Amino acid sequence: MQQTMENYTFLNKILIFAFAILSLISCEPHEDKLELYFERQAIRQVFSIADYCNEDFDSVYILHPYSNTEKTSFKNLKMSNSLRGVCNANISFDSFSTLLFISNGYVKAYSEIKNTAARFTTREIPNDLNLFPIKQQFILDNERCVHLYVE
């Protein structure tokens, strides 16, 4: 009986330890795969967001920090109320931009891109120019600022 109780206690300790390890692993911050794509993007190399996307999106909307969503085409985008709330909250942060992926006029997905990976707030992409075809070509400069690529 004593041996059975010791085995039971030992088994409980192993399960608690395993649960604690799994909890710690699941608390790791989520890294956005698109953000990793931008972090790995070479400087002065032309790219398109379509190169990354597996989905069939037709356009991308770049939501800059501090955007006035009432004076841009953002107000006309079709999306869920919860996503609209996320976007309106995101514009108050200057550390990242939000990319909205659109298919058939409806926002299907979004991605938050930290400025350390790619800065979309430059003179080359003014705040009133937000909607681009998914195959639009861009280029990163030495400071990781995103510019429109024109041949």
Mean pLDDT of residues grouped by 10 in the chain (151 residues)?
59 56 37 79 90 83 78 79 85 85 90 89 64 91 88 79
105 Rama class: left (phi>0) / alpha (psi -120 to 50) / beta = left
pLDDT of residue 101: 92
Please give the model's pTM, rounded to 2 decimal places.
0.72
pLDDT of residue 46: 93
pLDDT of residue 137: 93
Task: Give the list of residues 6+ apart from residue 130 with CB closer than 8 angstroms, or none.
Answer: 61, 62, 63, 64, 67, 72, 73, 74
As a whole number of angstroms, the distance between CA 96 and CA 83 comes to: 16
Angle at 35 between CA 31 and CA 38, to 5 degrees: 150
pLDDT of residue 130: 83
pLDDT of residue 29: 34
